[in-house]
Structure 1
Amino acid sequence: MIAWLKPGVLLAVTALLAGATPTTSTAYPEHHHPSTCKLPVFGAGSRYHPEFDPADFSPNVTNPWFPLKPGRTLVSTGVKDGEKALDLFAPTSRTRVIAGVRTRVVEDRLYLNNVLHERTSDYYAQDRCGNVWYFGEDTAELDAHGRVISREGSFHAGVNGAQPGVFMQARPQLGRKFRQEWYAGHAEDIFWLVGRNTTVTVPLGTFRHALRTAETTALEPDVLDNKYYVKGIGQVAELSVTGPAESLRLVEIIS
């Protein structure tokens, strides 16, 4: 148990997954060489219209840098908005069709000082070449009494001009920029790979050969974050580079 947490806080993990109805496993399409999968070219958002065929996607995300294994929860702690933060990242057995693509539903919960601050359902899918795409999110910011005070940042690809983005390449390329999402004025995150074979230390341990990415958004141009990904685990750390001092580091994996 993480020392500063109130007893029972991590029981929220069980509640997070409760009621998740198992779905019939969707077989991966036949794998082709990565060059056969067309990835969107980074450019101005107004001209950003990725081409994709829903038949090329599966909700079974097995990309080694960002595996989404239902029933496994990544537990991270750190600081956000000057408060102690706990983040629970839990792929579920549920799926949801967005823009014709069946996606994996991932539940993300952010607690500040033991109080649920933000709850998010994220929607990911993997193409036949192993690239992970991001098709949307439903997010809610809560007040201290659990009431929703904002749903800013929510989007579904294909609705009101929103577009999907690339979250992790099958073969990550240094320096290549991608939009993770596009919903003008609401969701405009971009990222690029800045390091391979990076060593990162988190409470769970020290990892070598990690990927390090840079992530920013035109909506907060003064904010730049680094994220670290480890094969077989996924994201193990998120650290601010510029902007408010914020951090999340992987503490535990619950299976």
Structure 2
Amino acid sequence: MTTPHPQRWLGLSVAVAVTAGCGGNPHTAAPPELTPSASSSGSQSPTPSPAPSPASDSPTTLPTPDASEFVTRIDNPWMPWSPGTRWVFTGRTTDGNERTVVTATDRTKVVDGVTTVVVRDVVYREGKLLEDTYDWYAQDHAGNVWYFGEDTLEYDGQNVDTSGSWEAGVDGAEAGIVMLASPAPGDAYRQEYYKGEAEDQAKVLSLHASASVPYGRTANLLETEDFTRLEPAATEHKYYARGVGVVLEVSLKQQDRTELVSMTNLEKE
């Protein structure tokens, strides 16, 4: 597969990342492109870039991951999974207020022959546990970040649902790319593939978006449109800051909004 530019689907070689330890008390990390806000009030909605039509593109099968194509850490500036780092988000959704805590752990897991970094993602709605997920990421030699699956538990107050879980190399599931090494407007890529269960895709819209969230105000954000044919109404725009990762997610239909509140390093004070 060739590099997508513009309107072509990306197929790149695979690679992964291992992690170091985490622990200790949180210490606010200094983001290179964000100026921390004094308060969470006054967050402004960005103006979304014109959305391309996902229906016109058809992603091709990605190559089978080869462990030899992976490096030992994930340091892509748009998605830096540095062990011991924690991101806290708050969200306003049609179903209630949510709080999400994402932690890059010091754990690794071999998935489809590749050593991946384990990232924990815990979601609370109105103070109650909604979802507890372990995601598996890896980075290739070129700097592209790959997604190898997840082990997820969803709670509805009475039952536990694990149907969102999938693993590359099992039952036909395949790893996908969640962040390009050098994203450019028009690039498109498949983020995951487990037929009928996980078929997220993304397109790069801009490298010059701007937004204001509780954690800070910034420009020159990477903006993507994330979508899936399984839920056409679930299309959302994501905004990434260099050295930080995702800072804002906006659902286009429901206008649900999730914002970065803090980024801390658990290995420091």
Q: Would you say same fold, with TM above 0.5? A: yes
1:219 CA drift (Å):
0.9
Residue of structure 1 equivalent to 2:235: 224
Higher relative contact order (CA 8 A, sep 6+): 2
Q: Unmatched 5+ residue regions in structure 2?
A: 1-18, 23-55
Q: State the one-letter code of the partner of 1:70.
A: P
Residue of structure 2 equivalent to 1:156: 167
Q: Is the 2:105–2:117 contact (alpha carbons within 8 Å) kept by the matching residues of 1?
A: yes
Where do residues 206-245 of structure 1 align in structure 2 (5 Å cutoff)?
206-242=217-253, 244-245=254-255
SS at match of 1:58: coil
1:56 CA drift (Å):
1.1
Residue of structure 2 equivalent to 1:108: 121
Q: Output the CA distance in 2 between the equivalents of 1:51 and 1:105.
A: 20
Where do residues 1-255 of structure 1 align in structure 2 (5 Å cutoff)?
22=21, 44=58, 48-58=61-71, 60-144=73-157, 147-148=159-160, 150-242=161-253, 244-255=254-265
4+ residue segments displaced more than 3 Å: 20-23, 42-45
CA gap 1:62/1:202 in 2 versus in 1, 3 angstroms? same
CA gap 1:140/1:196 in 2 versus in 1, 3 angstroms? same
Q: Is the 2:20–2:83 contact (alpha carbons within 8 Å) kept by the matching residues of 1?
A: no
CA gap 1:51/1:174 in 2 versus in 1, 3 angstroms? farther
Tell me the TM-score normalised to structure 1 length: 0.79
Q: Output the CA distance in 2 between the equivalents of 1:157 and 1:81.
A: 32
Root-mean-square deviation (CA, aligned residues, Å) is 2.0
Tell me the TM-score normalised to structure 2 length: 0.75
Q: State the one-letter code of the partner of 1:63.
A: N
CA gap 1:87/1:93 in 2 versus in 1, 3 angstroms? same
1:62 CA drift (Å):
0.3
Q: Output the CA distance in 2 between the equivalents of 1:193 and 1:63.
A: 16
1:94 CA drift (Å):
0.3
CA offsets 1:192-227 (integer angstroms, 9 cap, x no match)? 100111111101110111100000111101221000
Q: Unmatched 5+ residue regions in structure 1?
A: 1-19, 24-41
Q: Is the 2:94–2:256 contact (alpha carbons within 8 Å) kept by the matching residues of 1?
A: yes
Q: Output the CA distance in 2 between the equivalents of 1:74 and 1:192.
A: 24
